Amino acid sequence: MIEGLDGLLEPTGQPGLSELRDAIAQWLGAPRAEGRVVSEERLNRAGSINRVRFEVDGRSVSIVAKRSRALAAQRNHLIVHRCLPAVGLRSGAAAILATPAERSGRYVWHVYEDLGERTLETDRGPSAVRAAVRLLSAVHTRFIAHPLLAEARDLGGEFGPGFYRSSVRDAITCLDALPESDRDRSDGRVAVRHRLLERLWALREQEHERTEAIAHLGGPETLLHGDMWLKNVTVGQSGGRAHVRLIDWDHAGVGPLGYDLSTFAHRFCPDERDEVLELYRDALADAGWELPSREELTYVFATFELGRLANCVIWPALAARDGVEGALEELAMADDWLRSADTAPDRS
């Protein structure tokens, strides 16, 4: 019996808790195992990601339980159980210990091994950075022209030229669909909408040049993490050396390797960024590929970022149309991001 398991994570109010508890109990060896829940720690505001510590049969056990929508859960499962092992990178992600689904099938829980609290966002030592660049470049180079890209494409996103094109166009369509009223004018919704439309139409006019840049400068098509923020790179020590893993593959998909690299590199300050790009350039050269010039990278990285920011307009615009509270604030944030984005000079 595991004391406290029957009320595990009850304060979070998450769906599928009974299925999660049953799966954890089975993984821990219940009913023969004896122990208790030691602590529960929310890792995000919503309560959908939690660290749980147990004492079971005289040993300490720590897991991370994450609730996702079914499609995101499928992507994570594909990456961890099929893609990374296929290219010899099984240790490049956290192991999934159990996968209970909520009864309706809308949500899925993953029980992960706990890799600790250190990430590249907080622990940016030189050895950890080098290890992260090696891992990211290994994922990218090993999946160039790999047959599993077809499966990843089916379940994941497409982040090539079409992503920029569809993100900008869909954002414009969703903003155009927002109704206008006297209240909208008084609360600033119309002003935000007009500013966003002005910025997005400018990006639409640049569509040909920017999608051509992605096609020719973005690099070969490969498997992409899709959300390469530093917080998604865990850092540990193994045999006196930094050991990193990539977590949160919710947005995994297929596209030019520059999509991931642009997200990753721009999380570093300019001095650090130069070193990161040189490390990646060297790793890519070892695999027989070459990065574009620094000037070309600056332009195509800005294009990837603008596509991502345009995509961020779509969902709050849809929410605002449905009257969801807080949607206008999210649109205002997207407007700020687009205004401050490094658009890079026109190459013509």
For residue 185, the model assigns a pLDDT of 56
How large a percentage of the chain has pLDDT more than 90? 86
- Full residue range of the structural domain in which residue 297 is found: 126-340
The residues, any chain, with a CB within 8 Å of residue 187's CB and separated by 6 or more, are: 328
Strands 157-158 and 96-98 turn out to be unpaired
Q: Residue 348: pLDDT above 80?
A: no
Contacts of 294 (CB under 8 A, 6+ apart): 277
Three-class secondary structure assignment of 154-202: HHCEECCHHHHHHHHHHHHHHHHCCCCCHHHHHCCHHHHHHHHHHHHHH
In a domain, 347, yes or no: no
In a domain, 50, yes or no: yes
Which is nearest to 159 in space by CA: 173, 176, 140?
Answer: 140
Tokens 């893609």 belong to: 83
Q: What are phi and psi of 265, to 5 degrees?
A: -65, -35
Report which of 167, 161, 166 is spatially closest to residue 256, judged by C-alpha positions: 161
Q: How far apart are CA 18 and CA 213, in angstroms?
A: 49
Task: Name the pTM for this structure.
Answer: 0.91
Residues 42 and 185 in one domain: no
Q: Is the pLDDT of residue 332 over 60?
A: yes
Residue 121 lies in a domain: no
Give the domain CATH number at 99.
3.30.200
**Which of these ranges, 92-96, 263-267, 269-273, has the smallest mean pLDDT?**
269-273
**One domain, residues 70 and 102:** yes
Give the range among 106-120, 168-182, 300-314 with minimum mean pLDDT.
168-182
Q: ∠ at Cα 298 (306, 126), nearest 5°?
A: 105
Residue 237 has pLDDT above 90, yes or no: no
Per-residue pLDDT reduced to its tens digit, 194-218? 999 999 999 999 999 999 999 999 9
CATH of the domain at 181: 3.90.1200.10
Q: Would you say residue 263 lies in a domain? A: yes
Q: How many domains does the chain have?
A: 2
Q: Looking at the domain assignment, is residue 164 inside a domain? A: yes
Which pLDDT value is given to residue 344? 47
Q: Do 102 and 173 share a domain, yes or no?
A: no
Burial of 23 (C-beta count, 10 Å sphere; 0-12/13-18/19+): buried
Are residue 267 and residue 326 in the same domain, yes or no?
A: yes
Position 145 scores a pLDDT of: 96
**Whole-number average pLDDT of the chain:** 93
Check whether 187 has a pLDDT greater than 70: no
Q: If you average pLDDT over residues 85-96, what whole number do you get?
A: 97
Q: Is there a domain that residue 299 lies in? A: yes
| Three-state SS at 60 | strand
Give mean pLDDT, residues 53-75: 96
Residues 221 and 311 in one domain: yes
